[in-house]
Amino acid sequence: MAVFRTIQCSFWNDPDLVDSFTPEDRYFYLYLMTNEHTSQCGIYQISIKQIAFETGYSIETVKALLDRFERLHKRIRYNHETKELAVRNHLKYNGPTSAQDNTFKRIVQEFGQVQDRSLIGYVVNAAEAPCKALLSPFVKEEEKDKEKEQEEEPLPSPSEPVQAEKEEEAPPHFAVANHWYARYARETSRLISPSGKDHLRGRELYQRLSGDMALIDKAIDMYFDRWEDLWYARKGKRAHYTPDFSFACFCSHIDALLAESSTAPTRATPSITEAEAAWNALPDDADYLGREDSHD
């Protein structure tokens, strides 16, 4: 187990990182390269549950991110059976320069422990020429062929939602936190995925409102549209309010939100026409006086 990993300054100048990585992608990629399970060869064993626990993401979010990095960014490969993860460019920046290096000996030792042998060819073929020449003998011909076939697979269209299939498999109550954070992203331009605790809060809210997502969506819209009027969605002094959005706060004040909106069942208020009609139906003062005189 390594004590530290080196990240070169040029990491932040990577064209793909600048053009196509979201802030969430950058954080997740840094985690994959620096977590305590990483190895010298760039292939290590880690479960999806471990990743979720250490990053704070839900299991569904981790699955979607792994799929995104493998299919769209082509930066990793993950074997769900052996639970092995390979970081494609690891040897490119951390590879040995000679067979006498201790790094070389450590990598060869770790290669012997890899269960999915195709992952070895995956990381070696991405290395710089000197490192690739040193490590190529450890890549079998069938692994090279498999690597070439996988590299020739068509790249999914960027407009095509990578995690659509994953979202369809998610429990229905996940929609609560997902919808809230989608609106949060539009308002703040910050992309944040719901955590496991967020989905637990969403499940409680979903059950309380009998799965009425239309009602929940209206409450979400009101929360973001009228945040200045809601003391629990703002901070600062009067005339200088700034938003203080929080999913936990939203869930805690759902009753107040529904009470202040037309989404909550309220007692119907008579219209002006109905009130006038009721007033006109009453007898006038003369009628009352006439009736009182008749009794005398």
Q: 18 with 136, same domain?
A: yes
SS3 label, residue 64: helix
Using a 10 angstrom Cβ sphere, with 0-12 exposed, 13-18 middle and 19 or more buried, the burial of residue 33 is buried
Q: What helix, strand, coil percent values describe the chain, rounded to 5?
A: 60, 5, 35
If pLDDT is split at 50, 70 and 90, which confidence band does 43 have?
A: very high
Give start and end residues of each alpha helix (H) in 83-140.
90-94, 102-111, 118-124, 129-135
pLDDT at 32: 95
- CA 131, CA 42: separation in Å to the nearest integer? 13
Segment 67-94, tens digit of pLDDT: 999 999 999 999 999 999 999 999 988 8
If pLDDT is split at 50, 70 and 90, which confidence band does 154 have?
A: low
Q: 202 with 135, same domain?
A: no
Q: Which residues sit opposite 44 in a β-bridge?
A: 85
pLDDT at 216: 93
pLDDT at 123: 93
Instruction: Specify the number of domains making up the chain.
Output: 2
User: Could you tell me if residue 115 is inside a domain?
Assistant: yes
SS3 label, residue 45: strand
Q: 141 with 188, same domain?
A: no
Last residue of a domain, one of 99, 118, 151: 151
Segment 218-275, tens digit of pLDDT: 999 989 988 888 888 888 887 778 888 999 989 998 988 888 765 444 434 444 455 4
Asked if residues 227 and 236 have their Cβ atoms less than 8 Å apart, the reply is no
Q: 32 with 108, same domain?
A: yes
User: Could you tell me if residue 96 is inside a domain?
Assistant: yes
- Domain of residue 97, residue span: 9-151
SS3 label, residue 169: helix
pLDDT at 28: 94
User: Could you tell me if residue 266 is inside a domain?
Assistant: no
User: Could you tell me if residue 216 is inside a domain?
Assistant: yes
Q: 195 with 250, same domain?
A: yes
Q: Measured over all CA atoms, what is the biggest interatomic distance in the chain, rounded to whole angstroms?
A: 126
User: Could you tell me if residue 277 is inside a domain?
Assistant: no
Q: 102 with 26, same domain?
A: yes
User: Could you tell me if residue 274 is inside a domain?
Assistant: no
Q: 211 with 116, same domain?
A: no
Q: What is the pTM of this model?
A: 0.51
CB count within 10 Å of CB 182 equals 13
Mean pLDDT for the stretch of residues 206-214: 91
